[in-house]
A = this chain, B = another copy of it.
Amino acid sequence: MPATSPQPRRPRSGPRRDETARLAVLHAADDLLVEHGFGGLTVEAIAKRAGVAKQTIYRWWPSKVEILLDTLIEDSGKSLPVPTEKATAESIRGYLRGFARFLTRDPAGKVLLALIAQAQHDPDTAKSFHKRYLGPRRTQERDMLARAIEAGEISPELGPDATMDALVGPIVYRALTGASIPRGLVDTLVDGLLRPRAN
């Protein structure tokens, strides 16, 4: 059972990471994405907008995608928590409604869509996006489903991942194609896919 932390040696001298700069970068990236879209989102522009040197960005983030991931994780944790207490069909319905609102109304929703998109273009983005966002969230969603099943609230035909994708997919797809998410969609999905068929 050898060494613990790799470099415990020098506890660092000099100034620590500048929190002001960190937040400025995050907000700048967010704003620029909303204003000019992902295409107009350059590291140089972020740096300028944040009043920060380019090197300061590269020191802390390996790519602009990771900046967006940081904002997404922070924002979606706040705006869109996965229900952990009660687990009824109703709470799942509420979660999906929240998700739809998030994607279409919240600026942070744009970030999520942009990352889904960028993951198609770049394998590194895909990897990081799964590891840092999709994976953890899916874990929580699986829990949510499991609890509801156990409570006899729902009885989906498919496995948890396929079920979640069947619920979430249409919402994401409509957001991706610029369509609104109509009231009845979430209801129909929940009713058609989670409720046990009477037979």
Contacts and interface: CB of A to CB of B under 8 A. Distances in A.
A4 interface: no
Contact of A173 (B158, B173, B188): B173
Contact of A171 (B130, B169, B178, B188): B169
Specify how many copies of this chain sit in the oligomer.
4
A106 to B, nearest CB: 15
Interface string A157-175: 1110110011011111110
Interface residues of A, number: 45
A77 B165 CA distance: 27
A39 B193 contact: no
Q: Which 5 A-B pairs have the closest CB atoms?
A: A169-B170, A169-B173, A192-B192, A117-B120, A117-B117
26 contacts: A37-B121, A37-B123, A38-B121, A39-B121, A113-B120, A116-B117, A116-B176, A117-B117, A117-B121, A130-B177, A130-B178, A157-B188, A158-B184, A161-B179, A162-B170, A162-B182, A162-B184, A162-B185, A162-B188, A165-B173, A166-B185, A166-B188, A168-B173, A169-B172, A172-B173, A192-B193
